């Protein structure tokens, strides 16, 4: 190793991605120690920093070419020593001249003074703040003014942020292409309209709030004027990735304008958005021929002229989607609070969902709570030429017969079953006989045994325990599992 040239050593080090391996490599020789220090551009630190500022300063000195830093205090307790504070951010800003990407998670001791030091990081491109309870709008404005190259900004669970001068400034600067705002109670969907001209350049946007938002009605827009709607005439033709979660929309107010103005969308995720209008969604699909990924998470509400109790969209939306989006590859349909005793609570019929999969080159299909899907529907899915990955969660009407049909799907290689309680060991035997699955995941299916899944696929993941379905933000992580090869 000592005879290798510096460029070759650098190339070897670049190909090693695990931090533990890099640390071990640096112990081999002084030459490798120095070479690894020169090439290391990324560090992830947190609770192990003690004393925090001194250790961070040492790391910055040893790795002079750091460009990406993640500081994460998730799970921190006072017994682990004092967290990194404002002085630590001053160290970063003064000792890391190449810093372009910074993530701060659960950093409770960093306030506006500390975040203000980032204004000296003139090359900073990406900033992600995840649970920063001491940072307010004042600190964010300092960053917005000082970091002229900022193109990615994530603000998650920052409760002290309220006024949005920083957002207006970023919008006028026009450099941000990726904006994420989640769980910030002081920021409403109306505040985001102040991003103004920034929407023109934005390529990725995510907005989410939480709490019992659907029980209250939409909060009023204090500046809304029915005769003066200029503020909603906002263009966002570069937006490719859009996610709206847990909000209430009404016509011509708030973020509703996005659903009518985005023509370049490639990825769309609508999580429990109250107030969706089917004609509006059909128009959106007809305008988004580049759409590749669609995730719809719906719950039944009173909708339509007859005020039927069902999810907002029907087969008409699926028909427009199939006809207008020839590049669609990923589809997730989740139905929450839909009773299996009342299949009509789901606006999509089995025929509509099957037709969509047959008419588009869908490679990945995820159906959650699809009580209208039965074995006949599985037979229809089996003719989908491009379907490679199928995930079925809480689909109560699918039985072993459905497993028998799905084995004939031409390209299927990965199958996931979660809480599908009418599928038994006999269904697993059908999968084993077909010998076509590369991957099989079975979770919380009480009539399927651990023994039955062995041999049903090349890689099998099995868990007897069910996962929580109550949390609208996602499934809980499984606590017990077994892997078989």
DSSP string, 291-336: --EEEEEE--EEETTTTEEE-S--HHHHHHHHHH-TT--EEEEEE-
Q: Which residues pair with 179 in a beta bridge?
A: 153, 205
Q: Is 141 part of a structural domain of the chain?
A: no
Q: Is 203 part of a structural domain of the chain?
A: no
Q: What does the alpha-carbon distance between residue 290 and residue 226 come to, in Å, rounded to a whole number?
A: 33
**Would you say the C-alpha torsion 384, 385, 386, 388 has a positive or negative sign?**
positive
Q: In terms of residues, how long is the chain?
A: 485
Q: Each residue of 424-458: pLDDT tens digit?
A: 999 999 999 999 999 999 999 999 999 999 999 99
Q: Give pLDDT, residue 29.
A: 63
Q: What does the alpha-carbon distance between residue 242 and residue 404 come to, in Å, rounded to a whole number?
A: 37
Q: Is 4 part of a structural domain of the chain?
A: yes
DSSP string, 168-210: HHHHHHT---EEEEES-TT--TTGGGGGGGGGGT--EEEEE--
Q: Give pLDDT, residue 67.
A: 95
β-strands 364-368, 389-393: how paired?
Answer: parallel
Q: What does the alpha-carbon distance between residue 454 and residue 136 come to, in Å, rounded to a whole number?
A: 54
Q: What does the alpha-carbon distance between residue 114 and residue 131 come to, in Å, rounded to a whole number?
A: 15
CATH code: domain of residue 439: 3.80.10.10
Written as six digits, the tokens of 188 are 């409403």
Q: What does the alpha-carbon distance between residue 273 and residue 267 come to, in Å, rounded to a whole number?
A: 16
Boundary-marking domain end, from 40, 56, 71: 40
Report mean pLDDT in 10-residue bins for the chain, 485 residues: 68 71 67 69 90 93 93 93 95 95 97 96 97 96 95 96 92 95 90 90 93 59 55 82 90 78 94 90 94 96 81 95 97 92 90 96 97 95 97 96 95 97 96 94 96 94 73 36 38
Scan for tokens 């942020």, then name that residue: 161
Written as six digits, the tokens of 208 are 């989410």
**Domain boundaries, position 471:** 374-485
Sequence-ordered strand ranges (E) for 26-75: 42-46, 68-72
Q: What does the alpha-carbon distance between residue 359 and residue 344 come to, in Å, rounded to a whole number?
A: 24
Q: Is 205 part of a structural domain of the chain?
A: no
Q: Is 447 part of a structural domain of the chain?
A: yes
* Other beta carbons less than 10 A from residue 121's beta carbon: 24
Q: What does the alpha-carbon distance between residue 161 and residue 234 come to, in Å, rounded to a whole number?
A: 24
Q: Give pLDDT, residue 261.
A: 85
Residue 385 is classified by DSSP as S
Q: What is the pTM of this model?
A: 0.87
Q: Give pLDDT, residue 468.
A: 53
477 alpha-carbon distance from chain centroid: 16
Q: Give pLDDT, residue 211.
A: 65
β-strands 308-310, 482-484: how paired?
Answer: unpaired
Q: Is 474 part of a structural domain of the chain?
A: yes
C-alpha distances in angstroms, 222 versus 101, 213, 219, 253, 274? 36, 18, 9, 11, 20
Q: Give pLDDT, residue 474.
A: 40
Q: Is 327 part of a structural domain of the chain?
A: no
229-235 long-range CB contacts below 8 Å, 24 or more apart?
231/193, 232/193, 232/256, 232/257, 233/257, 234/193, 234/196, 234/199, 234/261, 235/199, 235/200, 235/261
CATH code: domain of residue 20: 1.20.1280
Sequence-ordered strand ranges (E) for 321-438: 330-335, 364-368, 389-393, 414-418
Q: Give pLDDT, residue 252.
A: 65
Q: Give pLDDT, residue 312.
A: 92
Q: Give pLDDT, residue 220.
A: 62
Q: What does the alpha-carbon distance between residue 21 and residue 156 come to, in Å, rounded to a whole number?
A: 32
Q: Is 77 part of a structural domain of the chain?
A: no
Number of domains present in the structure of the chain: 2
């Amino acid at each position: 190793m000592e005879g290798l040239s510096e460029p070759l050593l650098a190339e070897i080090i670049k190909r090693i991605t695990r931090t533990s391996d890099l640390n071990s490599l640096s112990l081999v020789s002084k030459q490798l120690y120095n070479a690894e220090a020169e090439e290391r551009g990324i560090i992830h630190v947190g609770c192990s920093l003690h004393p925090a500022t001194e250790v961070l300063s040492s790391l910055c000195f040893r790795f002079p070419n750091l460009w990406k830093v993640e500081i994460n205090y998730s799970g921190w307790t006072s017994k682990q020593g004092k967290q990194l504070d404002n002085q630590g951010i001053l160290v970063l800003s003064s000792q890391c001249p190449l810093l372009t990407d910074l993530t701060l998670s659960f950093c409770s001791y960093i306030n506006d003074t500390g975040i203000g030091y980032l204004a000296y990081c003139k090359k900073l491109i990406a900033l992600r703040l995840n649970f920063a309870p001491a940072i307010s709008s004042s600190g964010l404005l300092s960053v917005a003014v000082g970091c002229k190259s900022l193109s990615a900004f994530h603000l998650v669970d920052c409760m002290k942020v309220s006024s949005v001068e920083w957002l207006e400034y970023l919008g006028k600067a026009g450099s941000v292409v990726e904006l994420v705002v989640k769980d910030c109670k002081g920021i409403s969907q109306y505040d985001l309209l102040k991003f103004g001209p920034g929407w023109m350049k934005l390529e990725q946007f995510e907005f989410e709030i939480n709490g019992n938002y659907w029980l209250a009605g939409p909060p009023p827009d204090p500046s809304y004027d029915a005769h003066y709607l200029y503020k909603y005439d906002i263009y966002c033709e570069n937006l490719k990735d859009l996610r709206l979660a847990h909000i209430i929309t009404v016509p011509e107010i708030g973020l509703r304008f996005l659903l009518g103005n985005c023509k370049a969308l490639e990825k769309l995720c609508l999580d429990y958005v109250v107030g969706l209008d089917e004609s509006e969604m059909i128009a959106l699909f007809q305008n988004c021929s580049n759409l590749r990924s669609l995730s719809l998470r719906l719950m039944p509400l009173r909708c339509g002229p007859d005020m039927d109790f069902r999810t907002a969209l029907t087969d008409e939306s699926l028909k427009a989607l199939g006809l207008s989006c020839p590049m669609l590859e990923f589809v997730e349909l989740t139905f929450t609070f839909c009773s299996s005793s009342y299949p009509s609570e789901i606006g999509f019929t089995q025929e509509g969902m099957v037709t969509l999969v047959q008419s588009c080159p869908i490679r990945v299909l995820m159906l959650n709570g699809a009580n209208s899907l039965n074995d006949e529907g599985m037979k229809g899915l089996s003719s989908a030429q491009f379907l490679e990955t199928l995930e079925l969660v809480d689909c109560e009407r699918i039985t072993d017969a459905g497993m028998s049909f799905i084995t004939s799907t031409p390209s299927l290689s990965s199958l996931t079953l979660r809480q599908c309680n009418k599928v038994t060991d006999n269904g697993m035997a059908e999968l084993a006989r077909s010998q076509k699955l590369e991957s099989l995941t079975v979770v919380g299916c009480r009539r399927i045994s651990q023994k039955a899944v062995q041999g049903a696929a090349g890689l099998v993941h099995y868990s007897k325990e069910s996962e929580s379905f109550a949390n609208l933000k996602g499934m809980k992580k499984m606590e017990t599992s077994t892997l078989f090869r």
